Amino acid sequence: MGVVMTSRVALITGGAKGIGRGIALDLAAQKWNVAICYRTSSVDAEATARAVMERGGQVLARRCDVSDPVAARDFAALVEREWGRIDALINGAGPYHRVNLFDETVEGWNEMFDGNLHPIFYLAQAVASGMKARKSGRIINFSMANADQMISQPDVTAHYIAKAGVLILTRTLAKLLAPHGITVNAVSPGFIDSGSAPPEELAGMTKRIPAGYIGTVDDIVAAVRFLLSDEARYVNGANIQISGAWGI
């Protein structure tokens, strides 16, 4: 049995790089203990773990495919054993691919739901009992900026449906968990320079963004920091779009 720590504890899926990494480093600077999981980015995870420790946080980094319900729940249980609690669950993992619906494979279709939607259900179930017992907790889920519009998406169909599902699941969890002092909110990024898209591709999108520029990881981190704060205690079931007014 691990030693119960007094520091706050965050579990971040997809925490090895990009937005997840930015959140992990920000929490480390606030002296949170940070658990990150990743599927393939072991080198990035090691670098992020070192950076977390350099900023004063404790870190637990493990390879874990959260699309596997057993693996997801086992990872949450490991964090609970190690640090005695999970104060924040940040569901940042989310595979994406662009392919026309009629060229999509069954495997590709299922991957979008298994990676983007189902882990939120698995992990919310896994952390809820501990959060309920402590009468506090934060869950933050990642959707996408126009997922609430319910528009046609011929080339990202499954991904888009999964992200719309994230919003429904977020609101459902918020209603169920609010009586226990727990908030559940969604963050919906637009075009963000997180390292996952080529710079020239992002530059081509700029003209479609009313604000006139691409967002940064810091823009996302700031919203997450707010949602985790005491100032956001009454914000529950919200969907915060961070898109420079794209997708609304």
226 alpha-carbon distance from chain centroid: 15
- For tokens 């579990």, what's the residue? 11
CB-count burial class (<10 Å; 0-12, 13-18, 19+) for 70: exposed
Residue 179 CA to residue 136 CA, distance in Å, equals 10
Nearest residue to 60 via CA among 68, 71, 70, 48? 48
Backbone angles phi, psi at 37, to 5 degrees: -130, 155
Annotated catalytic, 213? Answer: no
CA max distance for the chain: 54
Contact between residue 43 and residue 63 where contact means Cβ atoms under 8 Å apart: no
Contact at 8 Å (CB) between 100 and 154?
yes
Q: How far apart are CA 30 and CA 222, in angstroms?
A: 13
Given 38, 122, 160, 213, which residue is catalytic?
160
Rounded to the nearest 10 degrees, what angle do helices 157-177 and 106-116 cross at?
30
Catalytically annotated residues: 160
